[in-house]
Copies of this chain bind each other. A is one copy, B any other.
């Protein structure tokens, strides 16, 4: 599975999509896989280069450093996840709760498609003095905003429990998605996508007062 959408060239150059990006693409794919499995610190640049079929120098030529490679990996994964979430919530005219359920379904699919990204996220987020501290703060805000809008849409149509603070609710859903998705991969492969979605949707159903 190819994991790169944007990708910033080494320096600010015009547009050189062809050969150059092929190298970056291979490196993105290889890193995503390896880092997800063994953690950022547990993977060496040699391994990434070997898995991508290029030399070690090429990694540095294209990304400058291991940290930068990972930062771009995070940015890239979030772009994909956001695009998927928005595609689900975007169906105007539909029931907001149904849209929410579709979104959580998209999140589950994303966790299944990019298991390595999810592992990377939970491994490195919440690390207090981290190289990617700012990167995570930005990306997290973007993702929570998408979820927040979907909750907002629900609250605009249904009577909801106003005692539940909005930020916490988004976070709870966000966290449940990651953890349920990861647990399915690691400990319960037999659990279905819909079971997982239903469990998370319980949060929303509890938010809506009857």
The verdict on A94 contacting chain B, using a C-beta distance below 8 Å, is no
Specify which chain B residues have a CB less than 8 angstroms from the CB of A128 in the assembled complex: 37-38, 186
- Contact A126 B38, beta carbon cutoff 8 Å: no
Complex: A5 Cα to B79 Cα, angstroms:
44
Residue positions of A touching B, CB distance < 8 A? 37-39, 41-42, 118-119, 122-129, 137, 140, 161, 163-165, 167-169, 171-172, 174-176, 178-180, 182-183, 185-188, 191, 195-196, 198-208, 210
Complex: A206 Cα to B125 Cα, angstroms:
29
Given A127-B39, A186-B128, A187-B137: A206 and B195 within 8 A (CB)? Answer: no
- Contact B202 A161, beta carbon cutoff 8 Å: yes
- Contact B172 A180, beta carbon cutoff 8 Å: yes
Given A202-B161, A203-B203, A207-B202: A167 and B191 within 8 A (CB)? Answer: yes
User: Can you list the 8 inter-chain pairs with the closest CB atoms, starting with the nearest?
Assistant: A175-B179, A206-B206, A205-B206, A168-B199, A202-B206, A41-B41, A165-B195, A172-B199
